[in-house]
Structures are given as C-alpha cells and as structure tokens.
Amino acid sequence: MKIIKKREKSKLLIGLNYLDKRTKLNDSDKRYLINLEKGFKGEEQFDALVKKYLIGEALVLNDLLIESKGNTFQIDALIITTDTLYLYEIKNFKGDFQMNLANFLIQAVRK
C-alpha cells in the first residue's frame, strides 16, 4: 500500500479552531466546529484501519477535491487496486442507525 495523498485538516477547520481559541463562537458556529472535528477524527480512525488491514498493492488518495461543471465535491478516500476503485464517504455519527436495502434504493431512484 502506498499513500499518495495524505489527509490534512481543512483550512476551515483550522481557522475555526483559531477563532474558537481567541473569541467566543456563536452556538451555530461552535456546533459546526464540533461536527468538523468529529468528522476529521472519524477520517483519522478510517485511515488507521486502512493502514492496519490493507495489504497488497494499492494506492490511497485522501481528501480529493474535484470540480466538475461548476460543482465542487470531495471524496474522503479513494483506494485504487489493480482491478477496482473503492470510493469512501466517511461519517462519524453517534447512536443507533438502521438502513434497509429497499429504502436505500427508493431514495437513490428519487435523486
């Protein structure tokens, strides 16, 4: 495994951390900062699992920012093997969640 692009904190997360240390953020900005921090922590946990369990030849690219037709989007992790591309959108939610295939397919078709 070779990590081509390492994960870094976003400029927004870094900036909000600086502001949080220097001033009192309003409630919505503070919640946003907390969510960004939780998200980054979840991505770091994912990276640790990849390093621990991914064996063999693979390329890992983290935090890819892509622009297409005026839209910008991010891929949290892209793992490339000799025959497959694996795209990962990493979430770090707390609680109990349930998802069934029928609901997932209905939501995907509506989009």
pLDDT tens digits along 25-73: 999 999 999 999 999 999 999 999 999 999 889 999 999 999 999 999 8
As a 3-state breakdown, the chain gives helix, strand, coil percent values, each rounded to 5, of: 45, 25, 30
Spell out the residues 6+ positions from residue 59 whose beta carbon is closer than 8 angstroms to its own.
1, 2, 4, 79, 80
Q: How far is CA 97 from the centre of its chain?
A: 19
Prediction pTM value = 0.78
DSSP string, 9-37: --HHHHHHHHHHHHS---HHHHHHHHHHH
- Percent share of the chain, pLDDT over 90: 77
